Every structure is written in structure tokens, then in C-alpha cells.
Amino acid sequence: TEFDTVIHGGRVATASDLFDADIGIIDGRIAAINENIAGGGRRIDATGKLVMPGGIEAHAHIAQESSAGLMTADDYYSGSVSAAFGGNSSFIPFAAQHRGQSIADVIATYDGRAAPNSVLDYSYHLIISDPSASVLEELPGVFARGITSFKVFMTYDLMNIGDGGMLDILTVAKQHGALTMVHAENNDMLKWMNKRFAAAGLTAPKYHAVSRPELAEEEAINRAVSLAKLVDAPLFIVHVSTSGGAAIVQREKLAGTKLFAETCPQYLALTRDDLDRPGMEGAKFICSPPVRDKATQDALWRHVQSGTFESVSSDHAPYRFDATGKFANGADAPYPKIANGMPGIAMRLPYLFSEGVVKGRITLQQFVSLSSTGAAKTFGMAKKGAIAPGFDADIAIWDPEACRTATLADQHDNMNYSPFEGMQIEGWPVLTMNRGDIIVENGELKADRGRGRFVPRKPVDLTGKPGYRAKELDPAQNFGAEIAP
Ligand code: URP
Ligand code: ZN
Ligand code: ZN
Ligand code: ZN
């Protein structure tokens, strides 16, 4: 056999195993995994390095307008480049519907943004903000294209679809094998808090965190899970930021509910004290849900350790620390008018490796699962997230001993600040590959704009999740006619 590329001398880590092996690649796919593979058009020396499935970033806002109309700082070029520098081989940003837009228009818009620009393979989660009858009719066509996850919001006035809207989406999603994702915060609790803070003149960035109580997330997660259970539809809770919210996920998983969830590095790394910095500096750390406290960090780490989360995702939502981003509504805007979100697509994996694996909180196998394999399985990327014959050669080579202090330059994005600035990071991705092409090597970009391909995804796999049957929807018990989806 003639291999296009051979990665030799490395230690291969997967979600299940750790072993020394060479990897032979043909036509962008892993063709052989063996102790000593000779030849190869190109030989990559991985001696002393870890060879892992490239990260799959499952939560990123790229070339996306917020509900207020503000465009993220990263497009599909800078966003994918930043992801690749951070050890990711593919990503799944959002294609966001704004109210009144047809879904066909949304998908065409994002295809136009992604296809000519992405250096990495990509898919989208479809955000639905307006579940009208005509929009619901379009969803099967979206699903048929391999876009098998839909996201909805329980907060933000222009995005929030209400409980009835959620039931409609959950029902259509279930019928097609799609996974509904949800941003869970109680909108009215947040608005009530904002009103009271405004009346008291408390508008500095630090009040953002306290204006979004933990209870608002816990209530919304509980409600979202109840809605999903009523129709026995699968549900994915994005960016879980509270101990109480994670506990609901854990309890419901134990009960067999068709539930999945993620958390993000910022909830493990930062606290609300980071928003309490001189002047407007705290605006850099405004995201929703907000970062919490040390006790929450500890609790979330235990959930990461014990399997509550399928993945740790970045929620990369890049708005610059200037008038194009955070301060689009003025340099001293009150916190409700400061753009929500922070960059994280480059630092997600270095942070998780350093604080997780190097500090002994999680195993290397858990790291692979949380960074790549879990997202591939949950979101139906059939040929990604593993190092196995026939899979895409989506590989990240890590130097486990590299030590550095994180700086803005490490992000390689369009941002002008890093929330990770100054953190000590041990372990670093030194080579990222997607379908056998080297994307980043030793700090240099090697790939062309637009080489990334759209990845059609599979229906959600619910094996091992028996689900829930509401008695009141059981025709045998109550009314003799099938109305359950
Ligand atoms: O603060 C964040 N995460 N902004 C992005 C939009 C969202 O809520 O996901
Ligand atoms: Zn070798
Ligand atoms: Zn969100
Ligand atoms: Zn988000």
C-alpha cells in the first residue's frame, strides 16, 4: 500500500485507548493503524507527542448577527483558522433564522458565508426564532440536507419562541430524528431583574452576572426538560453554567430521559469577580448565561468528571472590545446594551487539556471524548471524532509538555482581547489535520480559504435512552386515539 501520509512515532489517544502506533493515511482517510508503517509520501514525526482525534467545536457563533443585528467579529475564515490553531479539525456553528426569514434563505445565506471561506469541514445547527407553520414545513427539507440539529432560545425577546413554540419544534424534530438544542434561561426573571437594577442605577458590567440568577437557568432547564418529556423528544442543553442545572441533567439522564448537555471552559475558568474590573474592562467577560462562582466551578468540574456532559464547547461569540462589538451602543453603555459573548474557539482545548488532563481532573480518554468523540456521536458526524480505519484523517498532534502563558496572539482570530490572557497553559496542539490536509503546523497556517467541506450529519442516536411516556398521551389509558408524536 502506498500511503499519502504517515504519522509515526506518536502515542495515540482515543476516547477509549492509549497506545503507541503509526497512522497511515490515504485519500484523506485513516487507512492503517500499526506499530511500524514504512513509506508514505509525507512522513510526520510525532515522537514524544500525543496523536488525537482533532477537536470538533460544537458551539460557535461565526459570521452570525445577534438578535440585535450585530455581526460577530469572526467570519468562516478567521473562525475556522482560530479553531484550527486550537486543535480543532471541524466545527458546527449556527445558521440563525431571524424572524420573518424563510429557512431556505437562512441556509443559502450561511452556505454563502461558509463555503468560500472555511479552512475546516463544517456543519450548522439551525437556530429557529419563528416557528410559524411555513417554517415548520421547511424543517424536513433541512433535515434531509443533513442538518440534524435545531436550536431554540428561551430568552432574548427577539429569539425566545415560548413553550408552545418549543413543543412544536420538539415534535417536528422528533419525527425526523433531529436533536433540539436549547439556551435555557427564564426570560421574564431576567427582565424583572434588569428593571430593578436599572431603577437603582446599577448598570456597570459586573451587574450583568448578578442580573441573571442561577435560578433563571435552573428553572428553564427544568421546564425545557419537561417540555421535551411531554413529547418524548431528544433535547440538548447548551452551555450549562450552574450546579443546579447540571444536577437536573444528571438526574434526568439517570431516569432515561433523551437528554444531552454541554458546559464551556468559561464556566470552569472564570467567576463573576472577573466582571468586576476597573472601568468597562468587565465587559470582556459578559456572556450569557454568566460565569458564576468558585463553588459552581468545582461542581461543574465534578459533572465533567462523572459524565453529565457529552462535550465541553466554547460558545465562541466574538465581539471586539471596541465600538464594532461590545460598545456598539456606546463606550459606557449599561450592561444590558453590551454585546453578550466571548472568544474561546482557540483556547477551549488547550484550557481543557491543561486544567483537566495535566492537573489530573480528567483522563486523556475523557479529554478526547469531551473535545471530539462526544460531539461526533451526539451530532451525527459518522466519519469524525475517532482514530479508526475508514474515518476521516481529522487529527491533532499535541505536545503534552509545551508550557506557555496564554496571550491574544494565540487566538489567531479577529478579536482584540482574550479572556484567557495570562493563564498558564501546559500542553499545546502543534499540528492540526482535516481529511489528511495539514491545516496548521508549528504555529503556521498551511491551508487555503474555502477548502473545508459541508458535512451532512446523521439522525440523533438514542440508543440506551428509553425516554418517557406521559400517561396523558397514552391512548390505551385515556382516550383511545393516538395524538402523541
Ligand atoms: O453570551 C453569549 N453566549 N452569546 C451568544 C449568544 C448565545 O446566547 O448563545
Ligand atoms: Zn514510525
Ligand atoms: Zn446561548
Ligand atoms: Zn452560544
Question: Is pLDDT of 477 > 90?
Answer: no
DSSP letters along 325-371, please?
A: TTTTT-TT--GGGSPP-B--TTTHHHHHIIIIIITTSS-HHHHHIII
Q: In angstroms, what is the span from residue 436 Cα to ligand 2's centroid?
A: 17
pLDDT per position as a tens digit, 133-159: 999 999 999 999 999 999 999 999 999
State mean pLDDT over 314-320: 98
pLDDT per position as a tens digit, 331-383: 999 999 999 999 999 999 999 999 999 999 999 999 999 999 999 999 999 99
State mean pLDDT over 276-295: 97
What is residue 484's predicted lDDT score, i.e. its pLDDT? 86
For residue 167, which of 219, 127, 125, 224 has the smallest C-alpha distance? 224
Question: Is pLDDT of 200 > 80?
Answer: yes
Residues 6 or more apart whose CB falls under 8 angstroms from that of 412 comprise: 78, 81, 82, 85, 346, 445
Tell me if 183 CB under 6 Å of ligand 1: yes
% of residues, the chain, pLDDT over 90:
96
Q: In angstroms, what is the span from residue 248 Cα to ligand 3's centroid?
A: 18
**Site of grid cell 393516538:** 482
What is residue 485's predicted lDDT score, i.e. its pLDDT? 87
Tell me if 212 CB under 6 Å of ligand 1: no
State mean pLDDT over 302-307: 98
Query: Which grid coordinates belong to 307?
Result: 459524565
Q: How far is CA 225 from CA 228, 252, 312, 474, in A?
A: 5, 8, 20, 19
- Tell me which of 154, 286, 315 to substitute to probe ligand 1's pocket, judged by most ligand atoms within 8 Å of the beta carbon: 315
pLDDT per position as a tens digit, 87-106: 999 999 999 999 999 999 99
Question: Is pLDDT of 1 > 80?
Answer: no
Q: Whose atoms come closest to the Cα of 184: which ligand?
A: 3
Question: Is pLDDT of 481 > 90?
Answer: no
Average pLDDT, the chain: 97
Q: In angstroms, what is the span from residue 182 Cα to ligand 4's centroid?
A: 10
Q: In angstroms, what is the span from residue 286 Cα to ligand 1's centroid?
A: 9
Tell me if 317 CB under 6 Å of ligand 1: yes
pLDDT per position as a tens digit, 203-222: 999 999 999 999 999 999 99
Which residue CA neighbors atom 2 of ligand 1 most closely?
Answer: 341
DSSP letters along 398-434, please?
A: EEEEEEEE--GGGG-SS-S--TTTT-EEEEEEEEEEE
For residues 143 and 157, what is the distance between their CA atoms, to the nearest angstrom?
27
Question: Is pLDDT of 479 > 90?
Answer: no
Cross-strand pairs, 7:
23, 44
Tell me if 419 CB under 6 Å of ligand 1: no
Query: Which grid coordinates belong to 4?
Result: 499519502
